[in-house]
């Protein structure tokens, strides 16, 4: 086939591809995505089937190991995770040091990074046992780390994990229980959050996953690589959009619910205003995750007996945008983030926790892709080229002559 490396060596040419819009950096067997037709499959399984029938833990197992687990494999996986949910007591001191108004995403990435100081026995990416134990530790501890971040932000004492509960129930209890009142998770909330985590579990070479791979390609340990991915996810053009959407909806609500004026501002690109939760680099017809989530938003709100004026604003925005040439001609449709915030709000999470929930969901995908890269024979360090635009050459001038 065509050898671009040889061409570069012979001609000095490089490809300049802004935002990697057209560059495949990896071969991957984890997730299949067809943006034209709105198809998303994990290891070949359609996202719709996994969301309807699967659980988050079996999806995590599938992504990481390549196959759905048997009943025995699943219970072994679950019990291994359960045994590692506790954080070392010294980890709590990190939270003591953070300011009370610290963003939970900043706490999440910092504490995940700090895990590599506690688990120095699992830094070698080429040792299978070490890869396995760091994978289990991360899956087990991220919900605890996330719940502690929430507790810090509201000034409540931490709640230790319970081994009696499922993955999602345990996380909800650690988040919402207070000494005065034990939180009993509503099965509707548990099922909805489990489904949302499945829908977020992988999305091939998005910004955070590519970051995990790039950092991991230097053979940095798994905790360091995942921490970098969490930081990449935080930005408002990526996972941070799920916090930006309700903030946008609240702004519109405060201005009297004037959807048309907001749409005009977006179309005029006034102050760079974008319709958050709309548009996607790859999906050009619809985002299959958004379709499922829109239905779930209705179901969860009605099952919890909650109405949210922001849902009406979101529906009005979507209806306007889908009938407006600006959005239609640019193939801008609601993405995964457009409706998730409304569900998280109904569950009782503050806006600042929304991207943390995304990170909990995306964790197995990051891990699966990191494993795939490490195990790939001949895998090389990620090292893009550049097109230099600076001064070609000049002579040094002593400071007194400048
Ligand atoms: N609102 C208004 N206009 C938009 C939007 C939007 N949400 N998204 C893209 N556009 C316009 C751009 O202004 C541009 O128009 P132009 O050609 O007139 O300048 C055109 O559509 C193409 O936009 P790009 O920025 O080139 O598209 P890109 O593929 O680089 O960006 C992205 C994709 C970042 C998702 C973008 O659509 C966006 O900013 N959306 C809002 C943020 C968001 O929801 N992010 C979450 C993405 S999903 C996820 O990460 C989980």
d(CA 287, CA 334): 7
Distance in Å, CA 332 to ligand 1 centroid = 8
Mean pLDDT calculated for residue range 383-389: 93
Please state, rounded to an integer, the average pLDDT across all residues of the chain: 94
* In the predicted structure, residue 58 carries a pLDDT above the cut 80: yes
Choosing from 236, 277, 279 the residue with most ligand 1 atoms within 8 A of its CB, the one to mutate for a pocket test is 279
- Return the beta strands (E) in 144-236 as ranges: none
Closest atom, ligand 1, to C-alpha of 274? 1
From 194, 202, 287, 337, the catalytic residue: 337
What lines the ligand 1 site, CB under 6 Å?
19, 206, 237-239, 241, 266, 274-281, 330, 332, 335-337
Mean pLDDT calculated for residue range 186-203: 96
3-state DSSP call for residue 271? helix
Q: 264: buried, middle or exposed (CB in 10 Å: 19+, 13-18, 0-12)?
A: middle
If you search the block for the tokens 């699943």, which residue do you land on? 74
Q: Whose CA is nearest to atom 32 of ligand 1?
A: 280
Residue of 24, 23, 25 whose CA lies nearest to 382: 25
Residue pair 212/91 in contact (Cβ under 8 Å)? The answer is no
Mean pLDDT calculated for residue range 69-86: 97
The ipTM, to two decimals, is 0.95
Per-residue pLDDT tens digits for 338-385: 999 989 999 999 999 999 999 999 999 999 999 999 999 988 999 999
Distance in Å, CA 359 to ligand 1 centroid = 21
Respond yes or no: is residue 337 known to be catalytic.
yes
d(CA 394, CA 131): 49
Closest atom, ligand 1, to C-alpha of 278? 7
Closest atom, ligand 1, to C-alpha of 206? 50
Distance in Å, CA 281 to ligand 1 centroid = 7
d(CA 372, CA 125): 11
Q: Whose CA is nearest to atom 30 of ligand 1?
A: 281
Query: Lowest-confidence range among 44-48, 229-233, 239-243?
Result: 239-243
Q: Whose CA is nearest to atom 10 of ligand 1?
A: 279
Closest atom, ligand 1, to C-alpha of 266? 2
From 203, 280, 287, 371, the catalytic residue: 280
Residue of 346, 298, 321 whose CA lies nearest to 252: 321
Percent of the chain with pLDDT strictly greater than 70: 100
Respond yes or no: is residue 280 known to be catalytic.
yes
Distance in Å, CA 342 to ligand 1 centroid = 21
Cα distances (Å, whole numbers) of residue 254 to 78, 257, 258, 278, 323 = 45, 7, 9, 21, 24
Residue pair 298/342 in contact (Cβ under 8 Å)? The answer is no
Q: Whose CA is nearest to atom 35 of ligand 1?
A: 280
* In the predicted structure, residue 59 carries a pLDDT above the cut 90: yes
Distance in Å, CA 23 to ligand 1 centroid = 19
In the prediction, which pLDDT does 1 show?
66
pLDDT band (50, 70, 90) for residue 138: very high
Q: 95: buried, middle or exposed (CB in 10 Å: 19+, 13-18, 0-12)?
A: buried
Mean pLDDT calculated for residue range 26-42: 96
Per-residue pLDDT tens digits for 2-11: 777 788 888 8
Per-residue pLDDT tens digits for 294-340: 888 888 888 888 888 998 999 999 999 999 999 999 999 999 889 99
Distance in Å, CA 331 to ligand 1 centroid = 10
Residue pair 112/225 in contact (Cβ under 8 Å)? The answer is no
Write phi, then psi, for 4 (nearest 5 degrees): -70, -30
Per-residue pLDDT tens digits for 203-213: 999 999 999 99
């Amino acid at each position: 086939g065509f050898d671009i490396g040889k061409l570069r060596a012979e001609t000095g040419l490089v490809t300049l591809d802004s935002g990697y819009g057209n560059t495949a950096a990896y071969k991957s067997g984890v997730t299949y995505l067809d943006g034209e037709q709105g198809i998303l499959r994990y290891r070949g399984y359609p996202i719709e089937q996994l969301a309807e029938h699967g659980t988050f833990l079996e999806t995590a197992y599938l992504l990481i190991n390549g196959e759905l687990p048997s009943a025995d494999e699943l219970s072994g996986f679950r019990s291994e995770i359960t045994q590692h949910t506790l954080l070392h007591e010294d980890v709590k001191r990190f939270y003591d040091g953070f300011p009370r108004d610290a963003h939970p995403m900043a706490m999440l990435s910092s504490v995940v990074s700090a895990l590599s100081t506690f688990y120095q026995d699992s830094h070698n990416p080429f040792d299978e046992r070490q890869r396995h134990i760091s994978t289990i530790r991360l899956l087990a501890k991220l919900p605890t780390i996330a719940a502690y971040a929430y507790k810090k932000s509201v000034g409540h004492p931490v709640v230790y994990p319970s081994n009696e509960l499922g993955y999602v129930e345990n996380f909800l209890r650690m988040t919402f229980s207070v000494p005065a009142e034990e939180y009993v998770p509503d099965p509707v909330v548990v099922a909805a959050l489990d489904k949302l985590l499945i829908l977020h579990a992988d999305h091939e070479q998005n910004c955070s996953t590519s970051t995990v791979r790039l950092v991991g390609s230097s053979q940095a340990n798994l905790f360091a690589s995942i921490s970098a991915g969490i930081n990449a996810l935080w930005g408002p053009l990526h996972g941070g959009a799920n916090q930006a959407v309700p903030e946008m909806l609240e702004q519109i609500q405060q201005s009297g619910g004037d959807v048309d004026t907001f749409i005009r501002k977006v179309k005029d690109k006034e102050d760079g205003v974008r319709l958050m939760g709309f548009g996607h680099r790859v999906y050009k017809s619809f985002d299959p995750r958004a379709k499922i989530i829109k239905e779930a938003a209705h179901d969860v709100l009605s099952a919890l007996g909650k109405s949210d004026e922001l849902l009406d604003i979101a529906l009005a925005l979507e209806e306007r945008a889908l009938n407006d040439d600006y959005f239609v001609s640019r193939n801008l449709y609601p993405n995964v983030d457009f409706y998730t915030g409304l569900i998280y709000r109904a569950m009782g999470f503050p806006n600042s926790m929304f991207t943390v929930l995304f990170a909990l969901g995306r964790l197995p995908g990051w891990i699966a892709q990191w494993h795939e890269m490490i195990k790939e024979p001949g895998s090389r360090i990620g090292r893009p080229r550049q097109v230099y635009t600076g001064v070609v050459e000049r002579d040094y001038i002593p400071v007194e002559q400048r």
